Amino acid sequence: MHTHLVKTIENVWENYQSKTITDADHEAVRSTLELLTRGEVRSAVRGEDGVWRAVEWVKRAVLLHFLITPSRIIDTGPLQFYDKVPLQVAWGERGVRVVPPTTVRYGSYVGRGVVLMPCFVNIGAWVGSGPMIDTWATVGSCAQVGERCHSRGGVGIGGVLEPIQASPVIIEDDVFVGARSEIAEGCVVRKGAVLAMGSYLSASTKIVDTTQGNKVTFGEIPAGAVVVPGSIPSADRTHSTYALIIKKYRDEKTDARTALNSILR
Ligand SMILES: CC(C)(COP(=O)(O)OP(=O)(O)OC[C@H]1O[C@@H](n2cnc3c(N)ncnc32)[C@H](O)[C@@H]1OP(=O)(O)O)[C@@H](O)C(=O)NCCC(=O)NCCS
């Protein structure tokens, strides 16, 4: 699929320092961004083995856009911006509710029925259908947020554009991310997990599973885990380091506390 497009993007990527960028090159980059906007290509995909991998040609197209596109005034009526990537504006047909001053950049996809409280969705990102990206939450470039996920106020879902082969942050389906949490460095939150408010996850954050003899892992929150911020003592017991603690796996109480009032929808 998209063979010609992939070939053009790869060619421009390999030769952009020496070649003149043609109208056809511009068109290939623009077409890729349009496919991203429609949700027809993604910057990372989940393999049958459950591993998420970056789609390198798509990420290259996103980077090339920045290389070959000058900034220009973006007129939005009473508001004006100055940027290289236009904003998305036509939401009606997808049933997306957009609270101003939400910014969703062209080249990202937002699924049906999502409520976008004033938030920021960057280029290359993919957000599945409903329910909500809450106030001042950010979805970074190429980040993937699954179906029915809920990002509460101020959540930061980190983007990873470079290096090209690096997988972006992945939030699988039915995940709840509590207020002011931050997930970065290509970490993966598996299906249905719950991060309590103020949880910070980087590739170096120790994840301690109290349900499995305090086993320590990195980079991936297991499906259905309920994670809270905590700490773990150093090997020599001289200090403690921030860690995420898996207290339990999701139960009815968790479901009740993370449910969204349908009246607000
Ligand atoms: C994670 C959360 C949903 C609680 O889930 P729950 O299944 O009801 O969790 P429980 O109350 O059964 O707690 C389980 C354990 O985790 C601990 N815990 C729960 N939430 C915690 C938190 N936020 N910080 C630290 N520890 C927490 C409890 O103390 C308990 O520990 P224990 O087993 O040692 O007694 C809730 O804490 C939370 O973060 N809600 C989101 C709040 C939010 O973001 N609101 C939106 C504002 S915009």
Query: Is 159 one of the annotated active-site residues of the chain?
Result: yes
Q: How far, in Å, from the CA of 167 to the mean position of ligand 1?
A: 29
As its CATH architecture, domain 3-68 has: Orthogonal Bundle (1.10)
Residue 134 annotated among the catalytic residues of the structure: yes
Domain borders along the chain are 3-68, 84-251
Confidence of residue 223 (pLDDT cuts 50, 70, 90): very high
Q: What is the pLDDT, as a whole number, of residue 261?
A: 60
Residue 176 Cα to ligand 1 middle (Å): 12
| Correct CATH for 84-251 of 3.40.50.2300, 1.10.357.10, 2.160.10.10, 2.30.30.180 | 2.160.10.10
| pTM of structure | 0.87
Tell me, in angstroms, the distance from the centre of ligand 1 to residue 196's CA. Answer: 6
Confidence bin at 265 (pLDDT 50/70/90): low
User: 3-68 and 84-251 share one CATH topology?
Assistant: no
Flag whether pLDDT at 264 surpasses 70: no
75 is catalytic: no
Query: Which percentage of the chain shows pLDDT scores above 90?
Result: 77
**pLDDT of 149:** 95
Which of ligand 1's atoms lies nearest the C-alpha of 177? Answer: 44
Is it the case that residue 136 has pLDDT exceeding 90?
A: yes
Burial letters 86-103, b for 16+ CB under 10 A, else e? bebeeeeeeebebeeebb
Closest CA to 127 of 169, 183, 185, 84: 169
Give the pLDDT score at 198. 98
- Decide if pLDDT at 263 tops 70: no
